Amino acid sequence: MENCIFCKIIEGDIPSYKVYEDEHVYAFLDITQVTKGHTLVIPKKHLKDLFDYNDEDAAQVFARLPKIAKALERAFPEMEGLNMVNNNKELAYQTVFHSHIHLIPRYSKEDQFSLSFGNVENTRTPEEMTAIAEAIAKKVN
């Protein structure tokens, strides 16, 4: 895509701190470095978001995630965990519209990253939960 910053990074038109590359995937350090080693994994094929993936795209991209995550763990043995974050569409905080997965190493509860969910447990009845599950299940193909 012509004006996509990530496509330009893949092409080498914009510099990046590459950590991994093969024929399907390019991984590089996020310039924000929320935590040390914060890495973005992107498909070389321009896919806007997860909704653009087909089965082959998903297999190619997601199969590389454990390899890159394990490299982070080996590079930073002090790492105590890792968040994998993928935002899809503007409402879900996607700001670059080329699919990307954040691998964010975690070193302590006091590091620069926070992800929390409100306490909404038990706010839906079992009947509502059943209806939601059935609506989704009917659309899985």
- Domain edges within the chain: 5-114
Q: What is the rounded average pLDDT of the residues 4-32?
A: 97
Rounded Cα–Cα distance for residues 62 and 122 (Å) = 32
Q: Of residues 38, 98, 100, 102, which has the active-site annotation?
A: 100
Q: Say whether pLDDT at 122 is over 80.
A: no
**Is 98 an active-site residue?**
no
3-class DSSP state of 103: strand
Q: Say whether pLDDT at 2 is over 70.
A: yes
Q: What is the rounded average pLDDT of the residues 36-62?
A: 98
DSSP bridge partners of 28: 18, 40
Work out the pLDDT band at 1, boundaries 50, 70, 90.
Answer: low
pLDDT in tens, 64-107: 999 999 999 999 999 999 999 999 999 999 999 999 999 999 99
**What is the pLDDT, as a whole number, of residue 75?**
98
Q: What is the rounded average pLDDT of the residues 22-44?
A: 97
**What is the pLDDT, as a whole number, of residue 81?**
96
**What is the pLDDT, as a whole number, of residue 56?**
97
Rounded Cα–Cα distance for residues 5 and 20 (Å) = 18
Rounded Cα–Cα distance for residues 65 and 21 (Å) = 12
Q: Say whether pLDDT at 63 is over 70.
A: yes
Return the CATH number of the domain spanning residue range 5-114: 3.30.428.10
Q: Say whether pLDDT at 57 is over 70.
A: yes
* Tokens linked to 15: 């510099």
Q: Say whether pLDDT at 58 is over 90.
A: yes
Rounded Cα–Cα distance for residues 126 and 58 (Å) = 32
